[in-house]
């Protein structure tokens, strides 16, 4: 049997979500329509409002409906330190896991010649402008430990050094609670090469 046009349209729309296939889309649509119309209206309103009004922070490119996000607007955080990450989700992960008190900059990607992504696509000219303005003392590189992430980190480091900005990078290596035996060779050799003095 086939669903009515509006119901099919709802299922198609739900399938745009990551991880949602035809079966889950059908289950969600039927649940919303048969059991929970209020939730359906609330979801619709929230999606519309967010899609229309959420943009990105002028300073760090985090998602926000304000011109400047709460982190960048905060007077309690150190505006001289910038942690540079690839994705907005990385900001939330770091905020939960650390007591970092500086600001962030979201690249929304990584340098990748084969994908045609260069420094402009990542907003690095904007970032360099901020280095040139002199407000940034230190950057913390938190790009992903992939080949492209490494290329991005190196580029950023050169750019920062050019403006007298200090550069540090988060450590890469063996996951906590893991066992060396089961760590893949690439990670292990990286961790070994990056060993640190133990005092």
Partner 1 sequence: MGEQRRVSLAPAYILHRRPYRDTSLLLECFTRDHGRVGLVARGARRARSRLPGTLQAFQPLSLSWQGRGDLATLVDAELAGTPARLAGTRLISGLYANELLVRTTRRQDPHPELFGHYTRLVTALALEAGAEGVLLRLFERDLLTSLGYGLPLGHDAGGAPVQPGIAYRYDPDTGFHPLAGGAAGRGIDGAVLLGLAAGETGAAGSRAARELMRAALAPHLGERPLYSRGLYRQQLRAADARGGPSDTGEDDSACQ
CB 187 to partner 1: min, Å: 4
Binds partner 1 by CB under 8 A, chosen from 19, 38, 133, 181: 19
Binding of residue 177 to partner 1 (CB under 8 A): no
Backbone angles phi, psi at 81, to 5 degrees: -115, 130
Binding of residue 190 to partner 1 (CB under 8 A): yes
Q: In what order do the strands lie in the sheet with 166-169?
A: 102-106, 78-85, 138-141, 166-169
Binding of residue 77 to partner 1 (CB under 8 A): no
Cα distances (angstroms) measured from residue 159 to each of 38, 48, 121, 131, 165: 52, 39, 16, 8, 9
Question: Which region, judged by CB under 8 A, interacts with partner 1, from 40-48, 49-57, 70-78, 182-190?
Answer: 182-190
Residue from 174, 184, 110 nearest 147 by CA: 110
Q: Which residues pair with 34 in a beta bridge?
A: none
Question: Which region, judged by CB under 8 A, interacts with partner 1, from 1-9, 42-50, 65-73, 111-119?
Answer: 111-119
Return left, alpha or beta for 123; rule: phi > 0 is left, psi -120 to 50 is alpha, else beta. left
CB 38 to partner 1: min, Å: 29
Give the C-alpha separation, 31 to 24, whole Å.
Answer: 10
Binding of residue 184 to partner 1 (CB under 8 A): yes
Binding of residue 154 to partner 1 (CB under 8 A): yes
Binds partner 1 by CB under 8 A, chosen from 34, 182, 197, 199: 182
Binds partner 1 by CB under 8 A, chosen from 115, 134, 166, 168: 115
Number of residues that bind partner 1 (CB under 8 A): 31
Residues 92, 45, 35, 3, CA torsion sign: negative
Instruction: Name the token pair of 119.
Output: 């420094």
Residue from 47, 42, 52, 53 nearest 14 by CA: 47
Binding of residue 189 to partner 1 (CB under 8 A): yes
Binding of residue 163 to partner 1 (CB under 8 A): yes
Residue 164 makes CB contacts below 8 A (sequence gap 6+) with none
Question: Which region, judged by CB under 8 A, interacts with partner 1, from 5-13, 26-34, 86-94, 148-156?
Answer: 148-156
* Site of interaction with partner 1 (CB under 8 A): 18-19, 111-119, 146-147, 150-151, 154-155, 158-159, 161-163, 182-187, 189-190, 193
């Amino acid at each position: 049997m086939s669903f009515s046009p509006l119901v099919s349209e709802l299922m198609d729309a739900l399938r745009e979500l990551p991880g949602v296939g035809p079966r889950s889309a059908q289950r969600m649509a039927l649940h919303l329509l048969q059991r929970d119309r209020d939730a359906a209206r609330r979801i619709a309103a929230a999606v519309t409002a967010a899609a229309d009004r959420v943009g990105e922070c002028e300073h760090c490119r985090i998602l926000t409906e304000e011109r400047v996000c709460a982190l960048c607007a905060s007077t309690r955080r150190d505006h001289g330190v910038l942690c540079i990450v690839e994705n907005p989700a990385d900001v939330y992960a770091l905020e939960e896991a650390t007591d970092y008190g500086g600001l962030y900059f979201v690249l929304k990607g990584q340098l990748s010649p084969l994908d045609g992504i260069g420094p402009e696509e990542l907003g690095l000219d904007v970032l360099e402008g901020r280095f040139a303005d002199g407000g940034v003392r230190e950057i913390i590189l938190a790009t992903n430990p992939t080949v492209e992430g490494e290329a991005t980190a190196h580029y950023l480091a050169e750019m920062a050094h050019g403006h007298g900005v200090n550069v540090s990078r988060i450590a890469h290596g063996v996951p906590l609670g893991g066992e060396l035996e089961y760590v893949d060779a690439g990670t292990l050799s990286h961790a070994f090469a990056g060993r640190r003095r133990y005092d």
